[in-house]
Amino acid sequence: MGDTLDFSIESLGTCTVDSPIELSRVIGDNRANYVRDDQFIRNNIYVSGDKANDPLDMTNLMEKAGPREKIYFDPKHVKAGICTCGGLCPGLNDVIRAIVRCLNTRYGVKTIKGYQFGFHGFFAEEGYEPIDLDRYLIDEIHKIGGTYLGTSRGGGQRVGEIVDCLERDNINMLFIIGGDGTQRGSYDIACEVEKRGYKCAVVGIPKTVDNDLMFIDRSFGFETAVQRAKEAIAAIHMEAASQINGIGLVKLMGREAGFIATAATLASHETNFCLIPEVPFELEGENGFLACLERRLAKRGHAVIVVSEGAGQDLLTSTNATDASGNKKLADIGVYLKAQIEKYFKEKKIEINLKYIDPGYQIRASVTVASDSVYCERLGNNAVHAAMAGKTKLVIGLVHDKFVHLPIKMVTQHRNAVNPEGSLWRDTLDATGQPILMVNDMEAAKAKMAKAVADAKKKPSEQK
């Protein structure tokens, strides 16, 4: 990435309080153990013959998450806050439930406030009173989609007002569930808290259905999104295969990263073209997408296309507008592609039957599949353990299948993306049988891909 990595985790102070959770200190006694602060997970686990051993310092080591024997806060005096920010994502309620139950039942925390509608719930003039949460109130919320607390975009720049609210409510640990923009706001909040000398741990649970946060194996809700996308692809394949020159087109989430599209393509076994933001394509010409689609129809009589919402943006007119979170508003590649396909085959006088599905909001509001539900439970629990130990300015993440503490600054430096030279995209090409690149000007395509890689390495604030 070019930046020096530092996975050091900040703390509010020395931990002197005995944890109320009774665990073992002995390895090998068949009892669940505490986690020590000197237990780490390597960031870089890859080995090549021409490379020296990776350093065993905080440029390469991530602190393991989990309950500590000594904690910073006395649970009897803890007042916790929770909020959910940004767009919907499967698993939000599962995470809320896990945090509340761990605070309530494991540590005995009595005061837990749920701030409504994201950061807007901290602003008195908006009139959204916090909800007093306990394990009984939230016990069933994992069975429904959405977020029990409500969500919104924006507001994270009003840091002073948010911290004013935390002080008024005597909150000493805040759990913020949201994506990279939200977590940058979390970091600013934690810095303001520190500046005021106010002891409040700020812990993030990273949420991005696009799975584009750095270092983390996967974000919660991703596997549910892939499952629901697979179901949409199965339906569109049935439509396409039942028609004369049937074409099924599915647009999936993925603003700047094609992880959902690639995973759903691999899971479905029925996709013939997968179009993602990281790999450019052209519509016209002998090697362009439309000609490739025509050849597919001539050979098999039907085709299924999966496209990420951020794919092919260079083909459309950009408005340069942004939403409340500061994200660039994308032109609709799904509608555009549908129109271009219909126009192409009409001009060629070739009959087609095209069906189009955009299941985005249905997927975002979905109840989690089992694997995501398990993941959310463990994320929420580990977030509470971190906060109780006084750790701050961090998010909980899964790295190499282990739960770790990650500094917010590290996770939000860049966005993750599908590597066009990596095994995931290579396996996607194998699954679809599509050409490696659907372009006529190979040098121009290489330049676009190089620019995409460079843009992915920019800080999000530089990407607007």
Q: Which residues are catalytic?
A: 210
Burial of 430 (0-12, 13-18, 19+ CB in 10 A): exposed
Angle at 407 between CA 401 and CA 411, to 5 degrees: 70
**Is the Cα torsion angle 384, 386, 392, 397 positive or negative in sign?**
negative
Residue 387 CB neighbours (<10 A): 30
DSSP letter assigned to residue 20: S
CA distances from 295 to 245, 286, 292, 299 (A): 11, 10, 5, 6
User: What is the C-alpha separation between 100 and 97, in angstroms, rounded?
Assistant: 5
Under 8 Å between Cβ of 87 and 327? no
State the DSSP H helix or E strand holding residue 334, giving kind and residue range, or none if neither: helix 333-347
Beta bridge partners of 17: 71
Burial 120-151 (b: 16+ CB within 10 A, else e): bbbbeeeebebbebbeebbeebbeebbbbbbb
